[in-house]
Amino acid sequence: MAIAQLTEAERTAALAALPEWTLREDGLAITRTFRFADFAEAFGFMTRVAILAEKADHHPEWFNVYNRVEITLTTHDAGGLSKRDVALASAIDGFGH
């Protein structure tokens, strides 16, 4: 079954529910930057996200430097933002950071 890209209305509703996430300029992904006390804390966070992503079979694009983790979520099979991205962003937000 094909994964559908969110409609504009779905995207607007998703972003309202994910206030810390930003729609990328092209409208095809959401991004968020996390900051931690140090590298070990950032890496621990990335490990928790990796476990979630593996279980969901949906993997983030991310970048880490020392205490900063930048995450981009998009669904390549859908050609943009999908419910899978929203679900993973919501799960990541559940870590309480």
pLDDT at 97 over 80: no
What is d(CA 27, CA 19) in angstroms, rounded to the nearest whole number?
Answer: 16
8-17 and 83-93 helices, crossing angle to 10°: 0
* 16: containing domain: 8-94
Q: Residue 83 domain-assigned?
A: yes
> CATH number of the domain that 55 lies in?
3.30.1360.20
Could you report the per-residue pLDDT of 27-54, keeping only the tens digit for each? 999 999 999 999 999 999 999 999 999 9
Spatial neighbors of 57 by CB under 8 A, at least 6 apart, are: none
Q: Residue 62 domain-assigned?
A: yes
- Output the pTM of the full model: 0.92
pLDDT at 1 over 80: no
Could you report the per-residue pLDDT of 55-96, keeping only the tens digit for each? 999 999 999 999 999 999 999 988 899 999 999 999 999 886
Q: Residue 65 domain-assigned?
A: yes
